[in-house]
Amino acid sequence: MHPHDHSYLDVQKPEVSFDDVGGYESVKEKFKEMVVLPLKYPEALERANMAPPPGVIVWGPLGTGKWHLTEAAAKEAGANFVLIRGRECTDRPDAIHEGFELARKMRPCVVHVMDIDWLAPRRDADYSWEKGDESGKPDRFGNEEVHQAVIDEVSKVSSTKDIMTVGSCYRIDVLDTALDRVSMLGRKIYVPSPNRHDRVEILRIYLRDAQLGTGVSPEKIAEMSEYYVGWDLEALCRKAKLAAIERSKGTLKEVTMDDFAEALKAVKPWLTPKMAERYEQMYKMDCIHKYNF
Amino acid sequence: MCEHIEKGAYFKIKKPRWTWEKIGGLQEAKIRLEEMVSLPIKHVKSFEKAGLRSPSGILLWGPPGGGKTVLAEAAANSAGCNYISVKAIEIMSEPEEITKMFETAKELAPCIVFINEIDALAPRREATSLWAEGVTRDAPVRLAPPSTTRILFAELDKISERHDIVTIGATYRPDVLDPAILRNGRLDRKIWVPAPDFDERLEILKIHLKKTPLAEDVNLEEIAKMTEYYVGADMVGLCREAAVVAIKEQGDDFKAVALKHFKEALKRVPPSLSPESLKKYEEILHEECKHRYMY
């Protein structure tokens, strides 16, 4: 076991690559520019006299692949990858310090603070989508020390050129505005729920080893799975395969449309049409300049 | 060196880094700020001798990304005074922070207090007047309750006689602002921060690309011509995107940013303004009382 393989903290050579994430071509481009390029070509940036982004906030619905994309960016940059799991650190300021300390020792490095809104919430954060619906609201928040630790550490490495901090959260309006400052996590990448094309590409990955019956194709399933995000689609494929195995009682030939119909009934998306609309609105209302390099 | 930021950082005491020279264009706004803010702080005695009362506060207004924030910072730099900056949303929910902020300003005087997006802190209560289509970005998500607005006014009134504390508010929509904030002794002067014209865009490009190697086919005048309806922040974004495109293509062998990189960047960074929104700004400006813009 790796000495730092804790539930709250992971240090690793990144394994996921951009090819393992289906679709999202334009989002990947943003990652390649904001996260990869500054770590890969620091001297070229210096020659161009352009300061790298001090840090990046990656935000979008749950399960869209923010973590995978960040890990893939670290891999593409040839950097180390420190993952701090926000939910496990709400009372562990030492974990925050430990994570960033490791990053400083393992440069170049991408530090991914997952669920950063759990650790550094906005004081009057409003999580409601509509009346009574606070879907995705953290069940606990970082204590005072954790909150300050995150701010301090992000600030400390913001001008360090071979460490890139990526904070991820699922809403942009619930995060402490201190982190949002230009000098802190000054840039943003929005990872929206996958459109049809993205879903086709995501399904292609989850179905690549499966024998599919006539009429079953990633295109067909994508059409039937609006509002499903990456992890919904993964669960959907898994459920359909399982249904096929159960149905055939050990003599499985292929996964059929019936299996997918059953899976679609069992696996429902987290995102509602209303939430999807709110996401687009949130993005549209946000300052456009923070989404540029 | 990194600045110390506290969690929930309500307001920030900042060392101003921007100077007039680093800001391209906006000549008129720079002169007005120098006269209305920096000069009175620098030469308190002369103003007293002349019997000239300097403005208590300034409302900077103009399109988002037009340079209001950097102008305020440069004014503090020019005045050689302390600088406190805050976004309305950061102090909106805890009114005592407003009081604390002005207390701090008194301790740090001479001091400039910059309140960004001040329309969210002192909104015109009945304001629902819809803005031109497409200018919804940067709209305040929430508005402060009337009690908070009252505290802001009370604090502004307390310092209205002090020449060594100047409040600068910024907004892109003076028409949704509570008119009470513009009363004498509060933010009683206005400065219009317009969208840059051709010459100003050219100046912005020259400043931001001063140390950036450019290929021979890059003609900055040509780029300035292609960037009508771009504001300052768009121009900076354009330069950065062009450099990124070039580095992505050339990697470690990066030599220079060429015209094709700018052309690609133009596609990525669309202009913030449109003929319609620009017209709307000019309409508002036209309807404004001219005396508020004079000394």
DSSP H/E element including A152 = helix A144-157
Would the pTM of this model clear 0.95, i.e. be above it? Answer: no
Question: Model confidence over A163-216: pLDDT tens digits?
Answer: 999 999 999 989 998 898 888 999 999 999 999 999 999 999 999 988 898 889
Pairing between β-strand B165-171 and β-strand B57-61 as defined by DSSP bridges: parallel
Report pLDDT digits (tens) over B240-267. Answer: 999 999 999 999 999 999 999 999 999 9
C-alpha distance from B5 to closest chain A C-alpha (Å): 7
Judging contacts by C-beta atoms under 8 Å, the chain A residues touching residue B73 are: none
Measuring CA to CA, how many Å separate B271 from each of A269, B62, B171, B174? 36, 15, 19, 22
Please say if the pLDDT value at position A139 is more than 70.
yes
> Mind giving me the DSSP string for chain B?
------TT--SEEE-----GGGS-S-HHHHHHHIIIIIHHHHTHHHHHHHTPPPPSEEEEE-STTSSHHHHHHHHHHHHT-EEEEEEHHHHSS-THHHHHHHHHHHHH-SEEEEEETGGGTSB-TT--PPPPTT--TT--SS---HHHHHHHHHHHHHTTT-SSEEEEEEES-GGGB-GGGGSTTSS-EEEE-PPP-HHHHHHHHHHHTTTS-B-TT--HHHHHHHTTT--HHHHHHHHHHHHHHHHHHHGGG---B-HHHHHHHHHHS--S--HHHHHHHHHHHHHS-GGGG--
What's the rounded Cα separation, in Å, for the pair A97 and A111? 12
Q: What is the per-residue pLDDT across A259-283, written as a single tens digit (0 to 9) for each?
A: 999 999 999 998 999 999 999 999 9
**What are the beta bridge partners of residue A212?**
A255
pLDDT of residue B134 exceeding 50, the answer is no
Contact A178 B7 (CB under 8 A): yes
Contact B5 A287 (CB under 8 A): no
Q: Where are the domains of chain A?
A: 9-193, 196-266
**Residue A194: what are its φ and ψ, rounded to 5°?**
-65, 140
Residues of A in contact with B64 (CB under 8 A): 287
Residue B137 in this model has a pLDDT that exceeds 50: no
Cβ–Cβ < 8 Å for A164, A55? yes
Q: Which CATH superfamily is domain A9-193 in?
A: P-loop containing nucleotide triphosphate hydrolases (3.40.50.300)
Q: What is the per-residue pLDDT across A103-117, written as a single tens digit (0 to 9) for each?
A: 999 999 999 999 999
CB within 8 Å: B252 and A41: yes
The interface predicted TM-score (ipTM) is 0.83
Q: Span B200-211, mean pLDDT?
A: 95
Residue contact A148–B6, C-beta within 8 A: yes
Specify the CATH number for B12-195+276-293; select among 1.20.120.1770, 2.60.40.10, 3.20.20.70, 3.40.50.300: 3.40.50.300
pLDDT at B6: 61
pLDDT for position B1: 33
CATH for B198-268 (1.10.8.60, 3.30.1330.60, 3.40.50.300, 3.40.50.2300): 1.10.8.60
The predicted structure's pLDDT at residue B280? 87
Q: Does B225 touch chain A (CB under 8 A)?
A: no
Give me the mean pLDDT over the B24-46 stretch: 93
Does pLDDT of B74 surpass 50? yes
B-chain residues near A181 (CB < 8 A): 5, 9, 12
Calpha distance A38→A44 (Å, rounded): 9
Q: What is the pLDDT of residue B124?
A: 83
What average pLDDT does chain A have?
A: 91
The interface residues of chain B toward chain A in range 157-216, judged by CB-CB distance below 8 A, are 210-213
- Tokens 């990858």 belong to which residue? A81
As a whole number of angstroms, the distance between CA A45 and CA A39 comes to 10
Closest CA of chain B from A78, distance in Å: 14
User: Which pLDDT belongs to residue B130?
Assistant: 45
Contact B250 A44 (CB under 8 A): yes
Whether chain A has a CB inside 8 Å of the CB on B73: the answer is no
Cis peptide before B110 (omega within 30 of 0): yes
Thinking of the domain A196-266, which architecture would CATH place it in? Orthogonal Bundle (1.10)
CATH 1.10.8.60 residue window(s) in chain B: 198-268
